[in-house]
Chain A
Amino acid sequence: MTSDTAPSKPAQTELDLPDMAEARNDSGVAAMIRAILSSWPARISAAVVVLIVAMAILAPFLGTVDPVQLDPSQRLQGSSAAHWLGTDSYGRDVYSRVVYGARISLAVGAGTVVIAVAAGIFFGVLTGYFRWADIIVMRFMDGLMAIPGILLAIALVAISGATLTTVLIAISIPEIPRVARMVRSVIMGVRSEPYVEAASVLGTGALKMVWRHMLPNTVAPLLVQGTYIFASAIMTESILSFLGAGVPPETPSWGNMMADGRVYFLVKPELILYPGVMVSLTVLSVNMLGDVLRDRLDPRMAKRL
């Protein structure tokens, strides 16, 4: 948009307008980053998340070998110069598998967030804006919520076979109702706001109305919800893999590693310990960031807790 109305002096002196600079610098992203970095637990969590993301991206350059390379002569070795964290029951390098495992976990987390949020927004807007859709779709969502997420995911994987895509979808579907409900409640809340009615008086159509006047209100709660979904998706993926219903067993995922290590738990507990620590660290840090975001974006909620 062109701005031919640069901050010139107002013609009318009666106007007592505040400085523009003051209002400008409080933009969303900068404020959020400042908020996240305002306390020590938050800084540490942010640092851990950044490290894990960096690890996933830079995996091939971190002194790793092929994580699926079998070497039966080197089974269940301890730490050594060749294998920093030793090897597993197939002789695969544990360190490499831990590092590459971050890729699977983060991909599942991010993918789930994208799918669940997109579908959640769609159904949330549909049900929040159109009353007729509400009755049908929300009852279906209620039904979905009544089934335990893990059970549903296992069933879906069992039906469609275990690949990364099907696991991703299986983990996402149980998360959709929660997002849809939240978006729906926000939309229903703003639907009767005078500024929404004002826009409808000005002839604004349904799609523009949702996009311009309603969806911006969902950004903050979605951001918070997104972090929780991210964390819980990582957990669920690990659980699925551990139960053997997750990504294909040769894939280096933290859940698969724990499943493989389970048999040798008494001989070599590290096989479970390393991936377990990684899952815990990741989930804890992401959750912690979510809490900080929530406290910042919804101060009322923070006080209650």
Chain B
Amino acid sequence: MTTDNQSRVVLSVEGVTIDTRPAGRKPIVRDISFDVKEGETVCVVGESGSGKSVTSMAVMGLLPKDALQVSKGRILLDGEDVLQVSAARMRALRAAGVAMVFQEPMTALNPVKTVGEQIDEVLRLHTKDSAAQRRKKVLEMMERVHLPDVTRIYKAFPHELSGGQRQRIVIAMALILRPRLLLADEPTTALDVTTQKQILHLIKELQEQEKTAVVFVTHDFGVVSEIADRIVVMNRGELVETGTRDEILTAPKQDYTRMLVSSVPSLIPRRSPVTGQPKVLEVVGLVKRYGKKGLISDHSVLAAQEVSFTVHKGEITGIIGESGSGKSTVARCVMRLTDPSQGAVVVNGQDIVPMRRLRDVRKQVQYIFQDPYRSLNPRRTIGQSLMEGLINYGIDEGEARRRAGETLELVNMPASVMNRYPHQFSGGQRQRIAIARAVVMKPDLLIADEAVSALDVTVQAQVLRLLEDIRANTGVSILFITHDLRVAAQICNTVVVMQKGRIVEQGAAGDVLANPRHDYTRALIDAAPAPDWDFQNFRPAAGMPGMAPA
């Protein structure tokens, strides 16, 4: 979509500085300026802590009053400064002028009211329509966001809907009064890729019909390249660069933008399978059933069925799937954090499923958790966390300390951090510490359960490189669980694609990701945002077999 220069500017952010209250040493956001025109989508991109969400909250007038304030600049909505208006006027503006869609649709909706009533409430508060008129409008709007069976969904409660449907409801609520500006703060981050694609399409479609200006806050360059007309790159509260989509993606001017864009892994598989190495892990016919199967009724859920795959020494095997595919269940079964219902998990030639003493096997397999903020005990120092496993296996404290220090250096952290506590580190640093804690045990197999999903792209790129280095240096095998095809393409030798507890396809990463045979794999690859863009080289991905340019 192109925007001609004659389009009216809907939102104009002029030199906005946001300070903490009382003012701290450094403002949170410094001197940000950008415009959004009618019918245009501007993506505000940045890593966590870049100030992108705070900026969008300021536009909505939603900054927490006792903590943050706009200390300089103007925010003009159709020429009216939202920082100066009265509370009553702001309420009116929020209804008709600017609407917002949040990241987590479950928390944005009231759990004890039907979704129909919640959309209706917007109309009841802001229009003089009769109940019958409102109901008609609500149903119409629900149809426009492509919800099926709208009269039934009108009466549904939020928990009865899927994540994608909930986000559609939130979008319907936001757009029913036809606002001039839609602020979307990471609206698709909590959704699966296939759902994400649908929601992005929906926003685009409604925007074209209504000429709404859209500010889309996101950290995901895949999403950006799909929908943005213009891009605003932010870093640590400052505006780094603005430009059209093509300018930023093909020829970024600033170093930071270059680094940010090139950190996005591309979908082109890079590694081939390892050959001629012994099997480290073999999973045979694994079944995990939650709940009990009665004589007549069956309330059990099969989280994994007939899962079989192998991991060779020095190999990185990816398990790919959306939420609910059973990929984490498999990982937990391999670790015996969850007990499998049937099947065998053979580690170094030994089936660990019937084992009673897990201590002996635990040393051979180590686990890296998704959330680095919760996987380290906040009350224990880094050194204590790192040495815990070694000491459990009878290594004396001095030796454990020495090894912990060495391993910290392996993950590019100085050994001197051992006396500090986890809260003193950033997410990426903590994840490296968590990796060090696993690697220090010298395991044969590492299980990385969404280990880079919670990290910013630049940090994610570093951690992926680190895992790759550790594999090269120690010859450890890695079972890499992820929902992100890009990450899998980047690091995995072989991949296993799971859907609803079953393996639908497995093989060399190059084969599965480039020439998917199963429909589900194909759907996943199609849904991945911007499959045709090679971010690392700032150009369209050329010559990807089996992939048509969008």
- A residues adjacent to B (C-beta < 8 A): 1, 3, 5-8, 10-12, 14-18, 20, 23, 193-195, 197-205, 208, 212-213, 216
Closest B residue by C-beta to A3: B419
B448 to chain A, nearest CB (A): 13
Which one of B29-37, B366-374, B496-504 is at the A interface? B366-374
CB-CB under 8 A from B374, the residues of chain A are: 193-195
B479 at the A interface (CB under 8 A): no
Which one of B5-13, B156-164, B407-415 is at the A interface? B407-415
Interface string of B363-388 (1 = CB under 8 A from A): 10111011100111111100100001
* Of A193, A201, A208, the contact of B366 (CB 8 Å cutoff): A201
CB-CB under 8 A from A1, the residues of chain B are: 397
Query: By CB atoms of chain B within 10 A, which of A10, A18, A198, A216 has the most?
Result: A198
On whether the beta carbons of A216 and B337 are closer than 8 Å, the reply is no
A238 to chain B, nearest CB (A): 39
B425 at the A interface (CB under 8 A): yes
B360 to chain A, nearest CB (A): 9
Chain A interface, DSSP helix/strand/loop, else mixed: loop
Closest A residue by C-beta to B409: A11
Number of interface residues, chain B, beta carbon within 8 A: 44
Closest B residue by C-beta to A19: B424
A279 to chain B, nearest CB (A): 38
CB-CB under 8 A from B359, the residues of chain A are: 203
Complex alpha-carbon distance, A5 and B402, angstroms: 11
On whether the beta carbons of B420 and A23 are closer than 8 Å, the reply is yes
The answer to whether residues A10 and B375 also contact, given A3-B419, A201-B362, A202-B441 and a CB cut-off of 8 A, is no
Complex alpha-carbon distance, A3 and B416, angstroms: 10
Complex alpha-carbon distance, A260 and B362, angstroms: 67
- B residues adjacent to A (C-beta < 8 A): 335, 337, 358-359, 362-363, 365-367, 369-371, 374-380, 383, 388-389, 392-393, 397, 405, 412-421, 423-426, 429, 434, 437, 441
Please provide the 7 A-B residue pairs with the shortest distance between their CB atoms, ordered closest to farther. Answer: A202-B389, A194-B375, A10-B414, A203-B392, A194-B369, A195-B377, A194-B374
* Of A18, A201, A204, the contact of B367 (CB 8 Å cutoff): A201
* Of A195, A203, A204, A212, the contact of B376 (CB 8 Å cutoff): A195
Complex alpha-carbon distance, A8 and B416, angstroms: 7
On whether the beta carbons of B377 and A202 are closer than 8 Å, the reply is no
On whether the beta carbons of A5 and B376 are closer than 8 Å, the reply is no
* Of B419, B423, B429, B441, the contact of A15 (CB 8 Å cutoff): B429
CB-CB under 8 A from A208, the residues of chain B are: 392
Complex alpha-carbon distance, A7 and B380, angstroms: 18
On whether the beta carbons of A200 and B379 are closer than 8 Å, the reply is no
Complex alpha-carbon distance, A208 and B465, angstroms: 35
On whether the beta carbons of A17 and B424 are closer than 8 Å, the reply is yes
CB-CB under 8 A from A16, the residues of chain B are: 426
On whether the beta carbons of B424 and A18 are closer than 8 Å, the reply is yes
The answer to whether residues A199 and B416 also contact, given A15-B429, A16-B426, A18-B424 and a CB cut-off of 8 A, is no
The answer to whether residues A198 and B420 also contact, given A17-B425, A203-B389, A203-B392 and a CB cut-off of 8 A, is no
CB-CB under 8 A from B379, the residues of chain A are: 216
On whether the beta carbons of A212 and B419 are closer than 8 Å, the reply is no
